[in-house]
A and B are shown apart, each in its own frame.
Chain A
Amino acid sequence: MPNLSAQSAPQQVGLVRRFTNAGATTFAVAAAILVLVPLLAIFAYLVIKGIGSVNWAFLTQTPKPPGEVGGGMANAIIGTGIILAVASVIGVPLGIGSGIYLAEYGRNRFGDLVRFTADVLNGVPSIVIGIAAYSLVVVPQKHFSAFSGGVALGIMMIPTVARATEEMLLMVPNVIREAAYGLGIPKWRTTLSISLRTASAGVITGCMLAFARVAGETAPLLFTAFGNQFWNLKLNQPTAALSLQVFTYAISPYDDWHKQAWAGALILIVLIVGAVAAVRITTSRGMLKGGS
């Protein structure tokens, strides 16, 4: 039978191949699960420890003095919101702007310098950024403020947003830009309305990554926003922030405060996830069938 070997040979190869395939797939799935485990574990632990202290009072009241039971972190929740709003107003436009420069005009020495600086800034410890904001804003103003906290976090957002914007714009095929130039659309218009729009999904992801990263930062706020036991909605006054409040409560000697620290951490994570999800949902609403 001349074709017996021809028939059996592929089957043997198939066995080895199938085995390798199964092994590689198992490894990939296991790696994916392993990545999920820490995140889910942290979240589950936070829920277990914190959910008991999350109630209406926690979300609507300011902290009670030590020794008194109850009170909440309403001022810190609002404070975190204010600080992050300031940070985003500074970090997102500056980051996107410099990302546009790097991608569309930055093929030169100066662009390389900016790129290098952004990468270094990305690696600067957050407490150092806090000191910078302290000497740039707090010292001249002579008092701690929500604004200075926002500046510190905003500076931290810039390199992430800038590099993400640059990468995403570079992924827009050049033929798309050529199509726009061919229609007599000026370069600035092409960059804003064609290239940036085509890259918008990735740019938004970059902004959300930067936002989520700074939302939980504590160190840069220690001597900028400083923290506050009372209500404050003014930008130029010391302001409470969830991360600061969690830090203060966690190292305190009171049992009640420890519970509240867990609850504060849980609320912080829920707010970050909520904000990211809200942006995702609103931005995906305008998407078209078959677009990219």
Chain B
Amino acid sequence: MGVGIEVRGLNAWYGKNQSLNSIDMTVAANHVTAVIGPSGCGKSTYVRCLNRMHETIPEARAEGSVKVGEMDVYGSGSDPVEVRRRIGMVFQKPNPFPSMSIYDNVAAGLKLNGFRNRKQMNELVERSLKLAALWDEVKDSLHKKSGASLSGGQQQRLCIARALAVEPEVLLMDEPASALDPISTSKIEELIFQLKQHYTVVIVTHNMQQAARVAEFTAFFLMGSLIEYDKTEKIFTTPADKRTEDYITGRFG
């Protein structure tokens, strides 16, 4: 089951440039929350702060409080590796491991963390590929084909399966469909809809229609600040802030 996320006073920097200004935001468990905003508004930085991926970039740092379920992400005893194991991530560009088979790609998170039970691993791989709606397309070539041999849309679903296999509580998606064709995009969107039964999903998107289609809640970011955060319907029909309205009606961005 998914867990909720509590963000309080989150600030992030790239070197001397502050890219997030004290964000407060509560994400509901087992729902899909979309993060929208123009390029460079900090939406990617924001989700990368939730699983401490932000700090893997040289000179980048973050401060503030993020609680995912019971876990204090930026607590003093918190281990970023453990945090990322519990908060899965899907990236903008499909990035399967090119030297690994389809099976090994999905099993990578388990294998490389010392998981050894063969039978259980087979089950987890199958379950994850089924959840990601890829099983039927690859079940005959699990060990024969490289993850890089799949089409772009299949690769992205493979990456989703790979993230699900480690059984995270939260799934972060950073523009997961922006590099895909319309058919692959609609498959991914359908998939996101299914996933919220088991996971809390936060999705960054450039595409406002996509946010409207998949998310119950939508957050609008502008220049590193959270401008408005509400039910998706409210954001897209009667936004409270003028800047949100300008953005969704296409006046800038």
Chain A positions near chain B (C-beta within 8 angstroms): 107, 173, 175-176, 178-186, 189-190, 193-194, 197-198, 200, 288-292
- 19 A-B residue pairs with Cβ-Cβ distance under 8 Å, sorted by A, are A107-B58, A175-B93, A181-B56, A182-B88, A182-B91, A183-B163, A184-B109, A189-B112, A189-B113, A190-B112, A194-B112, A197-B97, A197-B99, A198-B97, A198-B99, A289-B141, A289-B146, A290-B148, A292-B146
Residues in A whose Cβ lies below 8 Å from that of B101: 288
Chain B positions near chain A (C-beta within 8 angstroms): 51, 53, 56, 58, 81-86, 88-89, 91, 93, 95-101, 108-109, 112-113, 141, 144-146, 148-150, 159, 162-163, 166
Cβ-defined contact, B95 with A184, below 8 A: no
Identify B112's interface contact among A182, A185, A289, A290, CB under 8 A: A185
A181-B53 CB under 8 A given contacts A107-B58, A198-B98? yes
Tell me the smallest distance from the CB of B91 to a CB of chain A, in Å.
6
Q: Which of A107, A180, A184, A194 has the most CB of B within 10 A?
A: A184
Cβ-defined contact, B84 with A178, below 8 A: no
Cβ-defined contact, B148 with A179, below 8 A: no
Tell me the smallest distance from the CB of B142 to a CB of chain A, in Å.
11
Q: Specify the chain B residue showing the minimal Cβ separation from A182.
A: B89
Residues in B whose Cβ lies below 8 Å from that of A198: 97-99
Residues in B whose Cβ lies below 8 Å from that of A184: 81-86, 109, 113, 166
Tell me the smallest distance from the CB of B121 to a CB of chain A, in Å.
14
A interface SS class = helix
Residues in A whose Cβ lies below 8 Å from that of B162: 179, 183
Q: Specify the chain B residue showing the minimal Cβ separation from A200.
A: B99
In the assembled complex, the Cα of A186 lies from the Cα of B85 at a distance in Å of 10
In the assembled complex, the Cα of A63 lies from the Cα of B37 at a distance in Å of 81
Q: Specify the chain B residue showing the minimal Cβ separation from A190.
A: B112
In the assembled complex, the Cα of A193 lies from the Cα of B111 at a distance in Å of 10
Residues in A whose Cβ lies below 8 Å from that of B82: 184
Q: Which of B91, B93, B108 has the most CB of A within 10 A?
A: B108
Cβ-defined contact, A178 with B53, below 8 A: yes
- The tally of CB-CB contacts under 8 A between chains A and B is 95
Residues in A whose Cβ lies below 8 Å from that of B163: 182-183
In the assembled complex, the Cα of A145 lies from the Cα of B146 at a distance in Å of 47
Cβ-defined contact, B91 with A288, below 8 A: no
Q: Specify the chain B residue showing the minimal Cβ separation from A186.
A: B81
Tell me the smallest distance from the CB of A142 to a CB of chain B, in Å.
48
Cβ-defined contact, B88 with A194, below 8 A: no
Residues in B whose Cβ lies below 8 Å from that of A182: 51, 53, 84, 88-89, 91, 163
In the assembled complex, the Cα of A123 lies from the Cα of B99 at a distance in Å of 34
Cβ-defined contact, A183 with B146, below 8 A: no
Residues in B whose Cβ lies below 8 Å from that of A178: 53, 56, 91, 95
In the assembled complex, the Cα of A201 lies from the Cα of B248 at a distance in Å of 49
Cβ-defined contact, B145 with A290, below 8 A: yes
Counting from the closest, the 6 A-B pairs by CB-CB distance are A290-B149, A184-B85, A291-B146, A183-B109, A182-B89, A288-B146
Residues in B whose Cβ lies below 8 Å from that of A186: 81
A292-B108 CB under 8 A given contacts A175-B91, A179-B91, A182-B88? no
Cβ-defined contact, A173 with B95, below 8 A: yes
Residues in A whose Cβ lies below 8 Å from that of B144: 288-289
Residues in A whose Cβ lies below 8 Å from that of B93: 175
Cβ-defined contact, A183 with B97, below 8 A: no
In the assembled complex, the Cα of A288 lies from the Cα of B96 at a distance in Å of 14
Tell me the smallest distance from the CB of A155 to a CB of chain B, in Å.
31
In the assembled complex, the Cα of A106 lies from the Cα of B83 at a distance in Å of 26
Residues in B whose Cβ lies below 8 Å from that of A292: 98-99, 146, 148
Residues in A whose Cβ lies below 8 Å from that of B149: 288-291
Residues in B whose Cβ lies below 8 Å from that of A183: 84-85, 88, 108-109, 112, 162-163, 166
In the assembled complex, the Cα of A180 lies from the Cα of B82 at a distance in Å of 13
Tell me the smallest distance from the CB of A251 to a CB of chain B, in Å.
49
Cβ-defined contact, B81 with A185, below 8 A: yes
Residues in A whose Cβ lies below 8 Å from that of B56: 178, 181
In the assembled complex, the Cα of A193 lies from the Cα of B97 at a distance in Å of 10
In the assembled complex, the Cα of A194 lies from the Cα of B89 at a distance in Å of 17
Cβ-defined contact, B108 with A185, below 8 A: yes
Q: Specify the chain A residue showing the minimal Cβ separation from B58.
A: A107
Identify B108's interface contact among A180, A288, A289, A290, CB under 8 A: A180
Q: Specify the chain B residue showing the minimal Cβ separation from A177.
A: B56
In the assembled complex, the Cα of A186 lies from the Cα of B80 at a distance in Å of 9
Tell me the smallest distance from the CB of B206 to a CB of chain A, in Å.
18
Tell me the smallest distance from the CB of A273 to a CB of chain B, in Å.
27
Cβ-defined contact, B108 with A176, below 8 A: no
Q: Specify the chain B residue showing the minimal Cβ separation from A288.
A: B146
Q: Which of A180, A183, A193, A292 has the most CB of B within 10 A?
A: A183
In the assembled complex, the Cα of A189 lies from the Cα of B85 at a distance in Å of 14
